Structures are given as C-alpha cells and as structure tokens.
Structure 1
C-alpha cells in the first residue's frame, strides 16, 4: 500500500501558478525552509482513499488476516512514534496500519518512507538504500 503524509511541509505548499512563485521559492530556499510545490513535489492525494482502505481490509479478510509480508510506503503509528520520537504525527494511514499490524499475523512489515535502513522490534524493516530478496 502506497502513500504517506509529507512531514517536511512546515513552511507551506506553493502553487506554481502564483505570480510570486519564483520569489517565494528563493526566499524559502535562502532560509532552508521545508516546503513543497503543488503537483510537483506534493499532491493532495498523498494518503489512500477510504475505498483503498476498504479494499485492503477485504483482501486481508480473504487471506484470513495472515500473510508473510506487509509492504507499504509508510508504517504504523506505534512504529512511527518509536522511530521519529514524536516528530511525525499520526494520521489516517498510520492509524490504519496500526490496525493491520495488530490484527494481522505476519512475518515482516517492510516500509521506506523515513529514508534510512533500520530494523525495529525485529519484524518492522525500514528500507531506503538497502535492497533485499524476499523468499516466496
């Protein structure tokens, strides 16, 4: 399942059609601001829709909530809290993934949104640069 909230947009989302766009970019860049550009580095659809959550639940129901691997872009709220020490905020996706990891029997949950390589609690695997081969 893809999707994740952007955690580096504290300074706003710029509209490329804004007549002052270039000036605003220069000002934000000069102070090392954390911002995104609509439809270039940020999209309002960055999180899954309710239909996508429901499709995931239906597929997990079919599998009896037992899978070998969970592969997502983001991770659950509880893992995110441990990983970011409160920097990243919970949202509908991380809360949904909390539900999945509580209800589902699985070997490993792989995710990569946080741009590092790390193993958390033995079965949560954050991958960014590392490449691994999964056994099917």
Structure 2
C-alpha cells in the first residue's frame, strides 16, 4: 500500500505517530511531499532519528522541500530506483530527485521538489538555508526530456510547492523569488495529462476538485 503525506520536518515522534495512526506497516510505502527534514548535520539528532527510521519495515520516499540540508543530502549515492534517479539514504529511504519519473506499484509518478524560503533572511547559509532549494536549469531540462519520453502523461505528480493558480486559491500570492518554479508548475498543470497532484509546503490540508491535494499532517491512502 502507498501512503502520501506532507512535511515531517524531522519531527520524529510526530512522524512515527502519524505513520502508526494511519496503519502504515510492513511492506508499505510512504511518500513525503518535501521538508522531510531527517537528513541533517552529521552527528546531529536527525542522524539518530534517521537511523531509527531505517529500521522500519516499510519504505520511505521523499521529494525535497526548501528546508532540507542539501549539503548532506547530496553526499548520498545516486542510484536508479523504480526507473528514475534517487539518492539512496538507507536501504528503505530514498530521495526522489527532481525531474524524474518513477514506476511505483504500476503507477507513473513525476517528481519535482524544491521551493523558496520566505524566511531566508532569518536563516544562515550552509546551516539552516541552502541555495539548492530552488531548481537548476539542468533539472528543468531533464524534467522536460523525461516528460517528452512519456508523452507528458503520468498518473501522479509529487512536488513541494504548487502551481500559481492553486496558491491564489488558498488566499496566498506567489513570491517573486518563487515565480519561475510556481510558474513552471502552472504550465505543467495545464500541459500534463495526470490524475492527481500532491504537494506539501503550505502547512494545510486541502483538496481541490479531487485533483490537487495540499497535505500537511494528513495522509492519503492510494488506490491500487
């Protein structure tokens, strides 16, 4: 069974409680829509929590959010996982890289993490903020190439932030620093043939038209 949820922010007790309350068990897969947060400083508490999660009998997948330690995340080996490129964090934990397409339990997932930190001015580069939170030109290019291969048709989309029009629907405005990414997502929203789109980032649980899901602490159990 596949479950999809929002930000976990490295909060171990809250995260394992969320998994348990929703019946996640042996052989299942949980996908986190960014701000996973357990890949932290070497020797820090999150490394300990990560080792605890690595003992679980289910798989944890995540797209990156804006609050990830990209310096550490990018030290993990890049492997092929379910047809796409991923960082292998542990035997049961993988970071689904940007612009990839994965075949998971017979369904096609397009992944594209990242977002802008509006609280960047309060953070310190290399410690609590990383420029890699926003995509590179190469990642946009790779996304386009991969989507062309499948005729711009996928089952599900996994991102951290959302298309412009969805941001407006929750009463927010697109940040100018985020406009390239959210504008790209708006284009994809209209261009892609997809069933459902899942995002995190906004710390709310909302469902628009049964097609766009914004998740925080809610978990969605996917249909087989």
Q: What TM-score, normalized by structure 2, do the two folds share?
A: 0.46
Q: Give the structure 1 partner of residue 206 of structure 2.
A: 118
> Unaligned 5+ residue runs, structure 2?
1-111
Q: CA deviation at 1:44?
A: 1.1
Contact 2:174 2:182 in 1 (8 A): no
Q: Give the structure 2 partner of residue 134 of structure 1.
A: 222
Q: Give the structure 2 partner of residue 20 of structure 1.
A: none
Contact 2:162 2:182 in 1 (8 A): yes
105 and 87 in structure 1: CA distance in 2 versus 1, 3 angstrom threshold? closer
Q: Give the structure 1 partner of residue 123 of structure 2.
A: 36
Contact 2:163 2:189 in 1 (8 A): yes
Q: Does 1:98 align with 2:186?
A: yes
CA deviation vs aligned residue, 1:8-36 (integer Å, no higher than 9, x gap)? 33xx2xxxxxxxxxxxxxxxxxxxxxx22
- Pick the aligned partner of 1:80 from 167, 185, 190: 167
Q: Which has the larger radius of gyration?
A: 1
Q: After the TM superposition, list the runs of 4 or more consecutive aligned residues in structure 1 that deviate by more than 3 angstroms.
A: 87-90
Q: Give the structure 1 partner of residue 116 of structure 2.
A: 5
Q: Distance in 2 between matches of 1:63 and 1:37?
A: 40
- Pick the aligned partner of 1:68 from 133, 155, 159: 155
Q: Give the SS at the match of 1:114.
A: coil
> Unaligned 5+ residue runs, structure 1?
13-34
Q: Distance in 1 between matches of 2:200 and 2:127?
A: 20
Q: CA deviation at 1:41?
A: 2.0
Q: Give the SS at the match of 2:157.
A: strand
Aligned CA-pair RMSD: 1.7
Contact 2:164 2:174 in 1 (8 A): no
- Pick the aligned partner of 1:49 from 111, 114, 136: 136
